[in-house]
A and B are shown apart, each in its own frame.
Chain A
Amino acid sequence: MTESGYRVLVEGTATGDLLRLDAPISLWGGLDSETGLIIDRSHPQFGASMSGAIVVMPHGRGSSSSSSVLAEALRIGTGPAGFILATPDSILVVGSLVAGRLYGKSCPIVCGSVPPGSTGIWVIDHNRVHPLPGPGRSPPFAG
């Protein structure tokens, strides 16, 4: 499925493994910016890595410190490749924009959804979101 018309909250392109969060998360207390791992023990995806992933989630939750945690993760390079949010979240938007302003390392954020059961590598391309096309969808080599 290739869809255009996603609402762009933070402009950009990104490719990464889809990581669907089954519950909203507060990045503060929920994401370790040093490692990119989800550290909220009560979260269904506890232990999963956001690093380099296209993160799909319903909305942010809780602490207003999440902007800082996102900017810090993006600065270090452990942050997600991009976000697909069901509802806009200005806390994530500002975190990404600040990482862009300071380090040129923003991550794209779009508003919309992906079909249930979607997995594999996905692409955010400005206002378009789609699975990585073509056969042999294997992750690119690191580096």
Chain B
Amino acid sequence: MADLALIFGAALGAACCVGLLGAGALRLLRGRSITVHISVLLAMTVTAVAAGVAVIAEAMFLSPHDLEVVLITVSAAALVSLAVGWLFGRRLAAAAVWADQARERERRIEKGRRDLVAWVSHDLRTPLAGLRAMAEALEDGVVADPATVHEYHRRVRVETDRMTRLVDDLFELSRINAGALRLSLSAVPLGDVVSDALAGTAPLAAARRIRLVAAESGWPTVTASEPELARVVGNLLLNAVRYTPDDGTVRVDAGRDGDAAWLAVADTCGGIPEADLPRLFDVAFRGEPARTPRSGNGGVEGSGGLGLAIVRGLVEAHGGRVDVRNVAGGCRFVVRLPLADG
């Protein structure tokens, strides 16, 4: 009985030594990954068992052959436990990281939703306030001279158009976010889309003496859905013209890069604060005063906060990417899209 107690004590002592070592190691490794912790934990357990067996086996007067057998058995068991433990540890760690990322993404989406609702209520309220006021003034006969009455009527229509555009943009954005966008992909000559977008933006640019510069040929052909691509190019051009001061320049060019095509729209807006760059494509992001749209653009500023979010959504739906960075005198938006074969 006494020798059993002795054996138990010796094994306990050996295991405790290992346990203490492990505890120290874990303390030193605080803040490291879950995989490291699980590995140390397992190594500790296995080593404690192995140490106990080894110490007692030494005291058991076993033949050298039997001792070898015991040690080999213990080593094999230790090896398997460590390997399995390492594998599970990694999986567990990956799941933990994944859950963390999912939570983070959820938080971002939720914040985006809140921002959007706040933005919509503000931007729908503004024209609504105007409409309400003008309608009441007309009703009460507060404005009575024919010229003002006519002007009020015209503004009611203009404001309504602005709200319509906004609602259309919201609808588009929600279709993108819900993944309900149906793209009919085909080989689209980028040059035609750019030409159309230039024709659409030219009057606005001309009114502010902004030069639109683009080569007439050499445009790649991309795989895209035409109406959506037209929207992307149109929004980028409109955005560039909107933020460029009078007498500025907006330049559009494109090229091939491996199996992708790129399209760049550069303006002379004076640059965007670096801190704002990553948020520029967020729904309803509004930049610093430097990027507040000029008023009096003929009502086109209606969808200011959604244009770039729509661009990103549409480009990503095409399997492409859109980036923005500052260049001398302004900023440059670059869209990458799959090249149509050839």
Are chains A and B native binding partners rather than an unrelated pairing? no
Residues of A at the B interface (CB closer than 8 Å) are none
